[in-house]
Amino acid sequence: MARDATELSLRPGWARRLVAGPRILALRRYGLQIGTVAMALLLWVIYAVKAPETWLSDDRIYSSLMSTVPFTAVMALGLTLVVIAREIDLSFPSVMAVSALVFVETPGDPVFGLLAGVGAGLVVGLLNGLVVVKLGIPSLVATIGTLFFWRGIVLVATGGNGSGLTDESASWVGRVLVGRIADGRIPAQMLWTLGFAVCLWLLLNRHRFGAHVYLVGDNVESAKMMGVNADRVRTAVFTMLGGLAGFAGIVSGLEVSYFWPTGGEGQLLPTIVAVFIGGTSVFGGTGTIFGTTLGSFITGSIEPGIVSIGLTGFYTQVIWGAMIVLALVMQAVVMRRVGR
């Protein structure tokens, strides 16, 4: 009978779940997105008060953000799916360069280069996925390896030399990808980014594949038991990120009309910041396209923001780093409150 009594008693974790569960989960479900919106508004108000000449009486800053943030945003969207599936990929900055190189080296119309470059990105992403899924290597370590490997390949292949992309940028492909619309105020890449965001939102929230991404990240054991092919889902999210990184690499080259073998370096931190302050959980199973898109613009606004209010640009990394840590701490607190 004594054993019976202890079996019927509540474990502390369950008690917390019963008492605090609904409120905390509701907070997490919408709270993190509300938090992201609040952060965006707060930053904008600070910029606007401190530097009204930049942020209120001139729209050039917004055109500028729309031309640079899309590269981060497109990759952050892909990374969001990877993180929801409870994996991570750090190799995308090098994938940008691989695809840009393939774009440069493909003869004929730039559209072939675009297809080949994005294709190369997909292949590199697929390899990442296979290394993680088939060999069981933790994605954090595996993709640090591929980050350096592919950068090395690009540097060896080019001897470290870049090349001009003036003709490509002026071609019809260049105009479609990085042209300017509405009297030069809206860069085409902004529209592409929004297009990707809409497609990925549909895929994640309205398609079987997205449902499986959430399930694999939330509880891979139950997902497998219910017949979800977890390995295929995880391989697919790495592959998609590879393709998106490839696209971003080509488009960023076209934007500046130059191919840099070091292109993409410096993209690692802001892309990860965008995903995490957008409310995607490092513990897997939750995350939104809206949060990541907004998160990308918050991240991209930090550097021009702090420069415009008169601080040195060196603060950018300090703030980005602090943002990552803060976002992760918040997620850890929320997770602990629900007893997982």
Partner 1 sequence: MGNLLELRGIWKSFGEVHALQDVDFCVGENEIVGLLGDNGAGKSTLIKIITGYHQPTRGEIYWRGKRLDHFSVHRARELGIEAVYQEKALADQQPLWRNIFMGRERTTKLGFLDVDGMKKETTELMRGFLRFTSAAVTPETVVGSMSGGERQGVAIARALHFQAELIILDEPTMNLSLTETQKVLDFVSEIKAAGKSCIFIDHNIFHVHPVADRIVILDRGRVAGEFRKEEITLEGLIDSMRRVAHTGSLAGAS
Sign of the CA dihedral 239, 245, 249, 250? Answer: positive
Q: Which is nearer to partner 1, 214 or 276 (CB)?
A: 214
Per CB under 8 A, does 2 bind partner 1?
A: no
CA-CA distance, 256 to 262, in Å (whole number)?
14
Region near partner 1 per CB under 8 A, out of 17-25, 128-136, 137-145, 320-328: 17-25
List residues bridging with 65 in a β-sheet. none
Cβ–Cβ under 8 Å, residues 209 and 203: yes
- Among 180, 207, 232, 336, interactor with partner 1 by CB under 8 A: 207
What are the CB-based long-range contacts (under 8 Å, 24+) for 176-180?
Answer: 177/114, 177/250, 177/251, 177/254, 178/67, 178/251, 178/254, 178/255
Contact mark string toward partner 1, 214..253, x via CB under 8 A: xx--xx-xxx-xxxx-------------------------
Interface residue with partner 1 among 4, 107, 310, 312 (CB under 8 A) is: 4
Q: Rounded to the nearest whole angstrom, what is the least distance from the CB of residue 74 to partner 1 in the complex?
A: 23
Site residues (CB under 8 A) for partner 1, limited to 28-87: 29
CB nearer partner 1, residue 141 or residue 198: 198
* DSSP string for 233-274: HHHHHHHHHHHHHHHHHHHHHHHHTEE-TTTTTT-HHHHHHH
Which residues fall within 8 angstroms of residue 289, CB to CB, at 6 or more apart? 77, 80, 197, 200, 201, 204, 205
Which one of the spans 8-16, 60-68, 167-175, 238-246 is the region binding partner 1 (CB under 8 A)? Answer: 8-16
- Which CB atom, from 191 or from 282, has the smaller least distance to partner 1? 282
Answer for which of 175, 180, 206, 232 binds partner 1 (CB under 8 A) is 206
310 binds partner 1 (CB under 8 A): no
Q: Considering only residues 143, 239, 286, 288, which one is a binding residue for partner 1 as defined by CB under 8 A? A: 286
Q: How far apart are the first and last CA of the chain?
A: 30
Cβ at position 284, least distance to partner 1 in Å: 8
Least Cβ distance, residue 86 to partner 1 (angstroms): 11
25 binds partner 1 (CB under 8 A): yes
Are the C-beta atoms of residues 243 and 95 closer than 8 Å to each other? Answer: no
Question: What's the rounded Cα separation, in Å, for the pair 175 and 55?
Answer: 28
For partner 1, the closer CB: 286 or 308? 286
Neighbours of 233 (CB within 10 A): 24
Binding residues with partner 1: total (CB under 8 A):
38
Tell me whether residue 172 is exposed, middle or buried, using C-beta atoms within 10 angstroms of its C-beta: 0 to 12, 13 to 18, 19 or more: exposed
Give whichever of 19 and 141 is closer to partner 1, judged by the CB atom: 19
Minimum gap (Å) between residue 238 Cβ and partner 1: 20
Q: Tell me the closest approach of the beta carbon of residue 133 to partner 1, in angstroms.
A: 18
Q: What is the DSSP string of 284-330?
A: SS---HHHHHHHHHHHHHHHHHHHHTT--TTHHHHHHHHHHHHHHHH
Question: CA-to-CA distance for 311 and 122, rounded, in angstroms?
Answer: 40
Query: Which part of the chain contacts partner 1 (CB under 8 A), choosing from 70-78, 131-139, 202-210, 248-256?
Result: 202-210
Interface region with partner 1, contact rule CB under 8 A, candidates 22-30, 38-46, 291-299, 316-324: 22-30
Cα–Cα nearest to 154, from 193, 73, 98, 95 = 98
Query: Under the rule (CB under 8 A), what is the footprint of partner 1?
Result: 4, 7-11, 14, 17-18, 21-22, 24-26, 29, 202, 206-209, 211-212, 214-215, 218-219, 221-223, 225-228, 281, 285-286, 338, 340
